[in-house]
Amino acid sequence: MIEWLLAVALAAPRDPLPDGVSCNTARNAVPKEKEIAGAPEFEPPQILESPGAVAPAGRETESVKVLVRVVVCTDGIPRTPTIVISGTKEFDAAAATAVLRWRFVPGKRHGVPAAMSYTTLVRFGPVTAPQEPSGS
* For residue 121, pLDDT beyond 90: yes
What does pTM read for this prediction?
A: 0.72
Question: Do 112 and 30 touch, CB atoms closer than 8 A?
Answer: yes
Band of the pLDDT at 1, cuts 50, 70, 90?
Answer: very low
CA gap 115, 45 in Å, rounded: 9
Expressed in angstroms, the distance from the first to the final Cα of the chain is 52
Three-state secondary structure call for residue 23: coil
Q: Please, which residues have CB within 8 angstroms of residue 53's CB and are 6 or more apart in sequence?
A: 94, 95, 97, 98, 99, 122, 123, 124
Q: What is the pLDDT of residues 4-27, one digit of tens each?
A: 444 544 444 455 555 666 666 655
Instruction: Estimate to the nearest angstrom the gap between the alpha carbon of 104 and the chain centroid.
Output: 9
